[in-house]
Structure 1
Amino acid sequence: MATVNLDLTPIHQCSADGCTFNASASCHAPAITVGDHGANHCATFLGIPTKHSPTNDGHVGACQLSDCSHNADLTCTASTIEVGTSAGGGTECLTYSAA
């Protein structure tokens, strides 16, 4: 079983119902990547119908949003984040804050 560095920012809640890593509003991906070519997007979102068995709570493994105030050297420094669906239908980090 993979282990996760507990110094990584935990995902407090995920409301992206269509993601296979979401179980009861809790992300169970070991580590997600936030940012997709500069766009605020959960790059780990996986929209397949089979749900993975919940394991450990998810964490932010990398943040590619260089303009986010919580980003320090591609690492999220927020105490926790929330992931959800934007008005446009994309899955994004709702904790994002422009620097």
Structure 2
Amino acid sequence: MATVNLDLTPIHQCSVEGCTFNASTACHAPAITVGDHGANHCATFLGIPTKHKPTTDGHVGACQLGDCVHNDDLTCHAARIDVGTAESGETRCLTYSAA
């Protein structure tokens, strides 16, 4: 069984429909990656049918958005984050705030 560092930032809510890690707006990926090549989106999004039961609350394992006020050494230090769908249709960290 995988363990999660409880010092990681928790995911308060995920409103992205169609992600295998989303169960009733609760992310249950043990740790997600936010950002990919500077783009603000959830790089852990996985759009396949759920084949497992939710077992844990999601956390931010890594953040690649170096220009976010919550990012320190690629680690998110926000109290918690929300993930959702932007107007463009991309899955994004809604807590992101430019430094």
What range describes the TM-score normalised by the shorter chain of this pair? over 0.9
- TM-score (normalizing by structure 2): 0.98
Contact 1:33 1:61 in 2 (8 A): yes
Deviation at 1:49, TM superposition (A): 2.0
Runs (5+) with no aligned partner, structure 2: none
3-state DSSP of counterpart to 2:61: strand
Percent identical residues: 82
AA partner of residue 13 (structure 1): Q
Runs (5+) with no aligned partner, structure 1: none
Match of 2:6 in 1: 6
Match of 2:27 in 1: 27
Match of 2:37 in 1: 37
AA partner of residue 17 (structure 1): E
Contact 2:38 2:64 in 1 (8 A): yes
3-state DSSP of counterpart to 2:48: coil
Contact 2:10 2:60 in 1 (8 A): yes
- TM-score (normalizing by structure 1): 0.98
Alignment of 1:1-99 (within 5 A): 1-99=1-99
How well do the aligned residues superpose, as a CA RMSD in angstroms? 0.7
Q: Size of the alignment, in residue pairs?
A: 99
